[in-house]
Amino acid sequence: MDPPLNEIYKNLLFKQITNTENNVPKIPSSFSVTAVVEEVELPVIDVSHLIDGAEKERDKCKEEIARASREWGFFQVINHGISMDVLDKMRQEQIRVFREPFDKKSKSERFSAGSYRWGTPSATCLRQLSWSEAFHVPMTDISDNKDFTTISSTMEKFSLESEALAHTLADVLAEKSGRKSNFFKEKCVRNTCYLRMNRYPPCPKPSEVYGLMPHTDSDFLTILYQDQVGGLQLIKDNRWIAVKPNPHALIINIGDLFQAWSNGIYKSVEHRVMTNPTMERFSTAYFLCPSYDAVIECSGDCPTYRNFSFREFRQQVQEDVKKLGYKVGLPRFINHLY
């Protein structure tokens, strides 16, 4: 069932012992597997007020969303409109798919080629290895799937409800940044977004490797449905904190594109997933992405970032990961005219 992560671990460990990784570029300081950190609860926002609340409640809810996005880059939403029935079925189907033999998963024709991923193909040292497997699925794979299986219909329901929530939140954030527009409605359509199902197997060396390397998300915003095992950590006030799981909430985090689009008002925060020695962890993420040709225009008279297309951003990220072993992201797009 599990991908051959142990073999990759042994190979990378042997490399380190024999000092054959001398040419590996210096890893950022945050890329070190640390000891226990403080567990906190993210801001919790009842987003039903956006629909059912009086004007005063709606305004208060909008401000809570904007404040959390400015100060944390992460928050939780309750009464979010995605039914527990859909969430439960999504988890059941996800577990069933990951229980299949590794060979079957890696050769699966259920989704487009390359959707199944495991470990970190570009890893040259242990700190770059992610102890996890995933199906990273373009929404076109779901909407165009003629073989309407249980998992495809479940993913369709989950993605449709996630899409509605994502657009609601994006419109609120645009409004609160002073840029109320139709950008998200026009550029972030169903076929440009992604769904990712993650599984983090138990790891015999939890102090040496990550479940998922420290990173920021290359999208506008992410909706995460996770189980109660825990392991998600993020940077707040220059230190790592652990996110306390909330069974009633979904986690929302701001991506790189929203940070650029808002001229740094909203924060795309570095986060990671820690491994667990005895328990596996599951999560499902919905990524709100624009079309590849969409241009991200930084707002304000003194834009921090230059204009760039989503295609250019993705290509730069892929190039950096291949060359350096990790993502650089927005610093590559700083506007040097100001």
Closest CA to 220 of 179, 180, 256: 256
Helical residues (DSSP H) of the chain, grouped into ranges: 5-17, 49-52, 55-71, 84-98, 102-106, 139-143, 150-176, 183-187, 256-261, 310-324
| CA 237 to chain CA mean position, Å | 20
In terms of Cβ atoms closer than 10 Å to its own Cβ (0-12, 13-18, 19+), residue 226 is: buried
Q: Locate 147 and state its tokens.
A: 């073989």
**Distance separating alpha carbons of residues 208 and 274, to the nearest angstrom:** 10
Q: Tell me how far CA of residue 102 lies from CA of 99, 113, 134, 186, 212, in angstroms.
A: 9, 15, 12, 39, 19
In terms of Cβ atoms closer than 10 Å to its own Cβ (0-12, 13-18, 19+), residue 249 is: buried
What would the 3-class secondary structure string for 122-144 be? CCCCHHHCECCEEEEEEHHHHHC
The torsion angles phi and psi of 271, rounded to 5 degrees, stand at: -145, 165
Count, in order, helices (H) and strands (E) of the chain: 10, 15
Q: Locate 325 and state its tokens.
A: 């072993």
Q: Are 236 and 317 in contact (CB under 8 A)?
A: no
Choose, from 91, 190, 281, 332, the residue flagged as catalytic. 281
CB within 8 Å of 210: residues ≥ 6 apart: 33, 127, 129, 130, 131, 272, 273, 274, 275
Indicate if 127 belongs to the active site. no
Query: Looking at this protein, which amino acid is placed at residue 263?
Result: N
Q: Name residue, tokens 């992560």.
A: 5
Residues carrying an active site annotation: 281
